[in-house]
Each structure stands twice: as C-alpha cells, then as structure tokens.
Amino acid sequence: MSGSLGLIEVFISYSHKDQRLRDQLETHLSNMKRKNIITAWHDRKNIITAWHDRMILPETEWKGQIDRHLESAQVILLLVSADFLASDYCYDVEMERALERHESGEALVIPVILRPCDWGQLPFGKLQALPTNGRPVTAWRNRDAAFADVVLNIERALEQRVNLSGPRESTKYSVMLSARIDDVDPEKLDRIMVHLREIAGDAEITLRKVEEGSVVLFLEGTQKTAEILEYLINTGMLKDVYGWRIKGVGLSPDPPEANRAEGVDDRGDFGEIRSIEKNGDNIRRILEQLRTPLGVIPFVGAGLSIPSGFPGWTDFLITQAQAMGMQGEIAQMLKSGLYEEAAEELERALSPFGFKSAIEDAYGDHVLVGKEISGAVRLIPRLARGPVITTNFDHILERVFDIERSPFELIVCGARPDLISKALQQHRRQLIKLHGDWEESMDRILTKKEYQVHYGGEDGQTVDLNRPLPRMIKTFLTGRALLFLGCSLNRDRTVQVLERTVSESPEIGHYAIVELPLDVAKRREKSKFMSEHNIRPIWYPNNKHAYISDILYVLIQEIIDVWSTTSRIRSAKPSLPGVVAWPPDRM
C-alpha cells in the first residue's frame, strides 16, 4: 500500500486541553508512519511526525509554522471536543481554512470526536466523523479500540482517495469456484459476476471454463483490486458467492490451485468434522437452536484470547512462579489441579499490588496495540444476538465487537443479577465478565480466597447457590442454551454450578466446540462428563485449534438467511476500499 499512497502529511488541529488524547492518537498513527503512508507534525519534537503545534521550536514564529503546514497538509484531522469548539483559533482559523481546502479538493478533512459535544449542526457536521458513527473516543470503554477504529478508517479513506486519482495498471487474474455443471445457469452466473465486480471495483469478468466440479472466471482490473479480492479469499472473509464455494484465486490468467480451510470440503461441508462421533447429530441440533430467535449465548474462555497474545491461566501462573523462583511448588499445585491455591500463593509472594500489576501486564490493552485480531474470536459478533459471557480479564471481546460495528450496550463485571435478568428478558447485547476485569480488582476472581468470597464452599469442592454470582450463572444455565468456546470445561466452580442445575432443567441442552482427546479412555471419560452436564460436544481433531474458526464459519453460513431476515447479521467486510457486503441482497 505504501507504493500506491506515497507519503501524506497529516495536520492535527486540536485544543491543548486534549493533548493527552492527541498523544494517544499519534501513538496509534505510528503504524501508518512505519508503513510510509503518512508524515505528521507537532510542536514537541524537531522531527517529522503527525503535525500539530506542539512541534514548533521555541525560537520559531508559531503562526507562520501553523499556516504553512495547514496549507501543505493533504489530510487535516479536527480533534473535536467542547474545548476545541470554544477555541477561537481552532474554530475560526484552522477549521475554517481546513474546510475551504476540503471543498476545493486540495485536502481531506476528517473530524475525530474526542469528547461528547454538540457538533452535528456545525459546518463540519456533514462530513464523515470518526470513530464509527461519530461515537466519542471517551465514550468507548476501550480507548485503544476507539483509536484503532479511527486509524483504520483514516487508512481506508486515504486508500480510496488515491485509488480514485492514481494510475490504473491492468492486471489479469482468475477465480475458481466450486459448482456442479447442472447448477451453472446463466442467470446465477450473471449475478455472481455482478457481485464480484462490486467487490473488485473495476474488474472486467468473463467466463473462462466450466467443467465438472468447478467454474473458472477470468478477471482483468487494477493490481489493487486484484489484491483486495485475493486478500478476502485467502483470509477466509469471502468463502462463497451465492452458494458457490470459492476454491482459489490466482494473479494470472491461469486457474489457481484450490485453497480452502483445512477440514472443509468443496461444498462447504466439513466432512472430517462431521465424521467424528456424534458430531453430525450435534451440528444438526445446534443449527436448529441457532435458527430460533434466541440462538445461543457464547461463553468465551481463555482459549480464544491466546492467538492474540494473551496467556492462558496456566501459562500466566507458571510465568509468575518463574519470576519468583517458585516453579517447583507451583508446578506441583497445578499438576494436582489446585489452580486457586496456586494463584493465592503467588499473590502472597508478589504482594496484592504486585499480583495486580502482573495481571495488568499480561492482560492489559497494550497487548493488542498494533495487532490484527484474527481467529475464532472475530466471528463471535456474527454469532451473538444477545448477551455474551466470559471469564477472561482481557478486552479482546470489547475490541472485536467495536471493530465489527456492534458495540456492547453494557459491560457488567461480577455479580449483578438485576442487570443480567434484564439482559436475558430483553435479549440485549451485553458482555457479562463473570470473574471481573484486569482494570478492577474488586470483582476479580482468581485466588482461592476470591473464589470462596464469590462462590462459597470452604472446601473448594462445592458452591453456594444462594450467593449472587452462582445464582446469576444458574439463571443463564437454566434459561438459555450456551455455546462454550475456548473453555477447558474442567471441574472448576462454573462447572460445579452446572452440575447442581442439571437436575433442575434437564431439558436445557448446551453446546461446546472442544478438542478431541487422543487417548481412547480419556475420550470416553470426557464424553461421559459432557453428557452428565447436558453439554453436546462438537469435537475437532486434537491440537488443530484452527478448526474452531472453520466450524463457527460454517455454522454462521448455514443460518445467514435466517439472520438476515431479522436484521441480526452484520457484514464482516475487511477494512479495504471498494469492498461491499456479500451477497448484497442478503445483508
């Protein structure tokens, strides 16, 4: 992308009272600077970064510097807040000149709403404001997600601006689709080609070959649109068009080699997965549940955060033990299943403050900075139509739902039975963090003492269903079907609540996508455990965790028509120019 965009100067207009927020934005813009997309300017340093008045040297005439950069910048960011609007210089000088240059086509002006204020009727109110939908940065629970959204959309705007005026070199490429010959009718083929044109922007498409099992389309367009289509297909964001599965894409006139998700065959049936014991029946059952208005409630465990750089609970405890020279003691406790006790020993060794700091270091928002989130967690917003439950401390779910334009209405930490009852009754999109959050220690549950406070049971083997948290979990377990994702489902406290409630609601079945043990005896033991807890497993092969994404994707594809009729499904389109929802008439 750097080759097509060149170097673009960004001018940042802001109130000095928003300096801290401006600094955070600049940190997020650093990735674009590394890719040589932008330069920028401010008055703190005598270097080229995103430009604002903090970069003016003391001996330099400040107004002349500002005017020169305001005139030379190709992109002007207005960091909007009540203080920005109250500043005569920001509003009457910088904003007015910025809008003049925007109207003449000399520059691109982008308002970034930092703090809530009345800006909708102002001169820049007609422009597309960021973050998405003009939601102020400070209104986002996760500000990193807010600034990531801003930067992502700035980059898209720059790409689109350059694509409209830049050179258009012709590139030839092919797309191979899976189809039976008797399915290839002219009307459907025409709809598919129209749809691919909308995604690829300018491509001319002709039919190259039809043979048993495949249709090859020949496309000719710009290199950029070819790369967009290749990106969508190779990342799995575009897997089929009107029921025809995409087998591959190649940047040449020759048909590409078929490329598909591991375990998924040409018709979208994940044959290997279905063939595993009872998977076929359980897939049928969960699809029936997903087609109901209530669907399932995802219960997300640590396994879905690990691909994004967060440690699992075992790895976290071992890392802390190594830092304190307690490897042997803690390893033995973990081997005996004494996770709560191990956490408590480490808190005692580190001190409560040190333990809280370790949790922040491991699960804080900084872990996600500059990372592209991928894997099964990216599909949760397309699966969830109401509440989502997690025991994780990190903010990956909050960020993913923000990125997918489906932010949570409310985030609840700990036991709040009143809010949870309302979330269930009204089917509201809320995130329930059962064991708290890395930012707050009040509702955090990790050590034995914390488990006893919230779950009861002095022996660690039982739970007190009269306590608020177990009672709240019981409400979910007896009222709705859950889908466990990234959960080990060992005999922890949450599972103990499930054990106690099974007899009360034997008709409520839950689901879990879980790893199939290699050992036959362990497999039988795990199957028995699942059955005793009213959990219907969908197994994936041992150590092939990428299958979780494949399974979720196919489940979502199976129910996409039902969701679209209730306006529940949202497009997971990538942040690239010229990309539209697919298929357009079903989104």
pLDDT digits (tens, 9 = 90+) for 496-527: 888 777 777 777 889 999 998 888 888 889 99
Section 424-443 average pLDDT: 83
Please tell me the predicted confidence (pLDDT) of residue 298: 95
The fold adopted by the segment(s) 280-306+375-565 is Rossmann fold (3.40.50)
**pTM for this entry:** 0.54
Q: Binning pLDDT at 50, 70 and 90, where does residue 407 land?
A: confident
Q: What token pair was written down for 438?
A: 């890395």
Domain 2-165 adopts which CATH fold? Rossmann fold (3.40.50)
Q: Are 489 and 497 in contact (CB under 8 A)?
A: no
State the chain's mean pLDDT as an integer: 76
Distance CA 226, CA 203 (A): 8
SS3 464: coil
81's CB contacts (< 8 A; 6+ apart) are: 15, 17, 18, 113, 114, 115, 117
Domain locations in the chain?
2-165, 170-260, 280-306+375-565, 310-367
- Residues 134-159 have pLDDT tens digits of 889 998 877 887 888 888 788 777 76
Residue of 376, 411, 564 whose CA lies nearest to 485: 376
Topology match between the domains 2-165 and 280-306+375-565: yes
Distance, CA of 240 to CA of 319 (rounded, Å): 43
Least confident window among 89-93, 161-165, 420-424: 161-165
Mean pLDDT of 266-282: 69
| DSSP symbols for 489-521 | --S-HHHHHHHHHHTT-TT--EEEEEEPPSSHH
pLDDT of residue 110: 94
Whether the per-residue pLDDT at 211 is higher than 70: the answer is no
State phi, psi for 119 to the nearest 5 degrees: -115, -10
Report the pLDDT averaged over residues 401-417.
82
Cβ atoms of residues 249 and 175 within 8 Å: yes
Tell me the C-alpha distance between 197 and 30, whole Å: 34
pLDDT greater than 80 at residue 267: no
The CATH code for residues 170-260 is 3.30.70.330
- In whole angstroms, give the CA distance from residue 108 to residue 112: 13
d(CA 352, CA 38): 44
pLDDT of 558 reads 67
Q: What's the rounded mean pLDDT across residues 248-275? A: 50
Under a CB-based contact definition with an 8 Å cutoff, are residues 225 and 203 in contact?
yes
Label residue 260 by pLDDT band (50, 70, 90).
Answer: very low
Could you read off the pLDDT of 543-581 as tens digits, one per residue? 888 888 888 887 877 665 444 334 333 333 333 333 333
Confidence at residue 126, expressed as pLDDT on a 0 to 100 scale = 85
Write the DSSP symbol of residue 368: G
CA dist 524 → 307, 361, 487 (Å): 29, 39, 18
pLDDT in tens, 47-68: 233 444 444 434 444 466 777 8
Q: What is the mean pLDDT of residues 9-32?
A: 86
Which range of 266-280, 285-299, 480-494 scores highest in mean pLDDT? It is 285-299
b/e sequence 534-558, b meaning 16+ C-beta within 10 Å: bbbbbbbeeeebebbbbbbbbbbee
Ranges 249-258, 376-385, 421-430: which has the least confidence? 249-258
Res. 344 pLDDT band, cuts 50 70 90: very high
The yes-or-no verdict on residue 250 having pLDDT over 90 is no
